[in-house]
Amino acid sequence: MLDLKINHLQLLAQIVSTGSLTEAAQNLGLSAAAASRMLKKLQTEMNDPLFIRVWRGLTPTDTTTMMLPVVRELLDQMERLEYQKSFTPAKLSATITIGAADNSVISILPPVVRAIREQAPKVNFRILPLESRQFQKLADGGMDFLLYPTQNLPDLPTHFFGLNLFRIERSVLMNRAHPLIKAYAAGQTLKAEDFRKYPRLLVKLQDSSRGAIYDVTV
């Protein structure tokens, strides 16, 4: 029989989500030494290294990949048991991790954080930038919520619940002397093909192990 505790499973799920033992330890409020001992215990019990170090961090072995659905189900069941207790916001001490686009941090989160802190003053918030693995992190517990624009992003996976908050409008910046400014001032309705006639500045965001890469082209 396996001699493991729930915090061992939480660590496993966090490492899968973050690809880093250090970051997983930080998310769980553990010291690096404690997390290392727990990982060693997991490896011993499962008789498997569980993770392989690659250039991007730690990647799960086949054993870990097969374990993960069971681990997630056990963690979900434990969470449901916790919620069956009497919930008192004022006594809640936790960190809520939110993945958010930069404009969400300014436009959405401040009033939300203030409202929650009024009821639950011991709650802390951790804001992470959006990335390509955001849905995986949400599934693994590396994030609790996501605030993201739906345009040009994959559809929400079926096992997640999503809510459209509002529609956003986009603006075009150009020189005051640009021909399109004159056309707009004259009452012309500008269409996409009108903009395609002129050079445009494209900002492309990419994820990497070192953070965001800004690829600017004209």
Residue-level pLDDT at 214: 42
**What is the architecture, at CATH level 2, of domain 89-147?**
3-Layer(aba) Sandwich (3.40)
Query: Which residues have a Cβ under 8 Å from the Cβ of 199 and sit 6 or more positions away?
Result: 218
For each of the chain's 218 residues, which pLDDT tens digit applies?
778 888 999 999 999 988 999 999 988 888 999 999 999 999 999 999 999 998 888 999 999 999 999 998 898 888 777 766 667 888 888 889 988 877 777 778 888 889 999 999 999 998 888 877 788 888 777 888 888 877 656 667 767 788 887 777 777 788 888 889 888 888 888 888 888 888 877 665 555 444 444 444 43
Whole-Å CA distances, 49 to 23, 60, 72 = 19, 9, 19
Residue-level pLDDT at 48: 94
Domains 6-82 and 89-147 equal at CATH topology level: no
Boundaries of every domain in the chain = 6-82, 89-147, 169-217
* Residue 152 CB-half CA count within 13 A: 3
Residue-level pLDDT at 212: 44
Residue-level pLDDT at 193: 87
Long-range pairs, 212-216, Cβ under 8 A, ≥24: 212/129
CA distance 45 to 205: 41
Paired residues of 29 in beta bridges: none
CA distance 17 to 72: 12
Q: What are phi and psi of 69, to 5 degrees?
A: -60, -40
Residue-level pLDDT at 204: 59
Query: Which residues have a Cβ under 8 Å from the Cβ of 93 and sit 6 or more positions away?
Result: 122, 123
Report field, pTM of the whole predicted structure over 0.85:
no
Domain covering 6-82, topology: Arc Repressor Mutant, subunit A (1.10.10)
Q: State which amino acid sits at residue 137.
A: K
